[in-house]
Amino acid sequence: MTEKSVIFFDIDGTLLDHDKKLPDSAKKAVFELKKQGHIVAIATGRAPFMYADLRAELEIDTYVSFNGQYVVVNGEVVYGNPLDIPSLVELTAVGLTNAHPIVFMDELDMKANVPTHKHIIESIDTLKIDHFPTHDPNYYKDRNIYQSLFFCAEGEEEQYREKFPAFDFVRWHPVSVDVLPKGGSKANGIKQAMKAIGIAKENQYAFGDGLNDLEMLSTITNSVAMGNAKEEVKAVSKYVTKDVDQDGIVYGLQLVGLLEK
């Protein structure tokens, strides 16, 4: 067996194909990695409740959620980095004046500050998940909110960047951005996980495709961009594999030497 490694996979466009389905080849690859003694983990912008079924199917209990703000290793929470609540309250108020709604998310659920909005429906529907945010404008009270979804058209988030220095705004959909604690990223989440896992940098791998993968793929020693990744993501990655729909996971694992061709 090769030396023990840890491999972090993004979900959308990486583990899941363009139809939000898990290719059989990717599933078999994950179990082959585990059979070899490697640690297979997930690093995603999704909340934990959004991919519980996927974790169960792949028997994965180490994961980085909310783009690094909520980290679980072997089923135990090892790190949490919630949003600053006073800033979040102000962002919510300013957003309402601009008809930009928000969804609050903790590890268990997500709630919208408005009863309904076309941008919420449009973007959440693309995730093809069973959960949909119901209305609770006070959901941020008395709980940790690790990430929020802020709904505005491309470019409209710029007006909020300077006004809210406590947050990073990372676009994941044409009408929605992730709101993260300033400096929060999958890269930092993986760093926190590594404190518990303790695997050397040269044996750390990560696969991704989106803008929220930039820090992760520019930091992890063995980074792999999917063939369907954005060009700026490919530019910071050590390797580029095939499209997710062309067995990109398997090809990428062969490319880095973790699976035999």
10 in active site: yes
Q: Give 43's strand partners.
A: 64
**200-219 burial, b if ≥16 CB within 10 A, otherwise e?**
eeebbbbbbbbbbbbbbbeb
Q: Which among 83, 80, 91, 10 is positioned nearest to 46, based on CA atoms? A: 10
Query: Which two structure tokens, joined as six digits, stand for 100?
Result: 């930009």
For 19-43, the DSSP string reads TS---HHHHHHHHHHHHTT-EEEEE
Q: Which long-range contacts (CB under 8 A, 24 or more apart) does 33-37 make?
A: 33/7, 33/253, 33/258, 33/259, 34/59, 36/1, 36/2, 36/258, 37/1, 37/4
CA–CA distance, 22 with 244 (Å, rounded to integer) = 10
Burial category of 81 from C-beta neighbours within 10 Å (exposed 0-12, middle 13-18, buried 19 and up): buried
Catalytic: which of 10, 17, 213, 247? Answer: 10
For the packed helices 24-35 and 248-255, what is the interaxial angle rounded to 10 degrees? 40
For the annotated catalytic residues, the residue numbers are: 10
